[in-house]
Structure 1
Amino acid sequence: MQNYLTLFINGDPFNCHDSMSLSDILNYLNIDMNVVIIEYNHTIVDKENFSTLYFNNNDAIEVISIVGGG
């Protein structure tokens, strides 16, 4: 049986399989993990935890891009 859930990424609903980790979702969305900060349910996630973080239905993720400049 396949189980799906809905996350909210930057406020937008995103349906995914419940076996997808944060890194799986970022890869799927072509988001460069080296230049983003991820906030999960109002808590910043360390990059080393991206592959071990799994979600519950209606969890919220904010993807914050780091932009360099001069």
Structure 2
Amino acid sequence: MNKTFSLNGKKFLIKKNVTLKEIINYFDYQKTLSIVEYNNLISNSDKWQNIEINLNDKIEIISIVGGG
């Protein structure tokens, strides 16, 4: 079953069931430096492997970057 979801305002299509953790890994976000909002709620990294992406889900990921 095809599903579309939004990641940082861009639409994506997936053709299989995937978890939030798989999405984060696929797009190469670092777990320790990312804040993830899933359907308007901040999501704890301990739960990412249990959250399956559904039709029209909204994911926002903010990466923390250090510098000087």
Range of TM-score over shorter length: 0.7 to 0.9
Rounded to whole Å, the distance in 2 between the matches of 1:27 and 1:58 is 20
Q: TM-score, normalised by structure 1?
A: 0.85
| Alignment coverage as a number of residue pairs | 68
Identical columns (%): 37
Deviating above 2 A after TM superposition, structure 1's stretches of 4 or more consecutive aligned residues are none
The answer to whether the 8 Å contact 2:29/2:63 transfers is no
Q: Measured at CA, do residues 32 and 17 of structure 1 come closer, stay the same or move farther in structure 2, by a change above 3 Å?
A: farther
1:13 aligns with 2:48: no
Matched residue type, 2:9: G
- Counterpart Cα distance in 2 of 1:51 and 1:41: 16
**TM-score, length of structure 2 as denominator length:** 0.87
